[in-house]
Chains A and B, each alone.
Chain A
Amino acid sequence: QSALTQPASVSGSPGQSITISCTGTSSDVGGYDYVSWYQQHPGKAPKLMIYDVSNRPSGVSNRFSGSKSGNTASLTISGLQAEDEADYYCTSYTSSFSYVFGTGTKVTVL
């Protein structure tokens, strides 16, 4: 159950687009369309931003989008805003009703 690999940090200016990658293996990210993304502000509980690779829960801005290619999933934030500054985590179903989180990415809005 090794953690999925995410970049430690990603930054961008307001209005720009950024993409966070989440790399796993064929046993997790590549094997199932069950990748989710969470946003977490300091001291707060995580918030679901994307589920099942590319689906947005009700109430989540359409500036957030998800995709997957092979063993790598991606979260794109377009029109970056100050409020998007937070930590982001991916998670994937692995097998036999098991799950794994990514290492986490700190997004900084310059």
Chain B
Amino acid sequence: QVQLVESGGGVVQPGRSLRLSCAASGISFSNYAMHWVRQAPGKGLEWVSVISYDGNIKNYADSVKGRFTISRDNSKNTLYLQMNSLRPEDTAVYFCARDHSGGGCDYWGQGTLVTVSS
């Protein structure tokens, strides 16, 4: 069965950290760039971060640069997002997605909700 499954979301206080995981199964993982995309409640999609197929190239949205770190373990078919210094405005559903071509993502996870609140 083809799927991406995110985990690690939850409620966290401002300033704390959280690590999200995205496990891939049934699809090729190690040959593709991967993205994290988030969606605040009732809002639109926001691109968060991307990592190349081999993990050597990474980039981030300005809103998370310096606080979030993307990584991957191709031996475990797993993508990660380490989120530090969390802010209330980071509250969102976080999706992982596989890049088919030029940012067009063909497979998406179901999303994991991160709530930053005191």
Contact = CB atoms under 8 A, between A and B. Distances in A.
A92 B47 CA distance: 10
B44 A46 contact: no
B102 A46 contact: no
Interface residues on A, range: 20 to 34
Interface of A: 1, 3, 32-34, 36, 38, 40, 45-48, 50-52, 55, 57, 87, 89, 91-93, 96-104
30 contacts: A3-B44, A33-B102, A34-B101, A36-B102, A45-B110, A46-B37, A46-B45, A48-B105, A48-B106, A51-B102, A52-B101, A52-B102, A52-B104, A55-B104, A57-B100, A57-B106, A91-B104, A93-B102, A93-B103, A97-B52, A97-B58, A97-B59, A98-B61, A99-B35, A99-B47, A99-B103, A101-B37, A101-B44, A101-B45, A103-B44
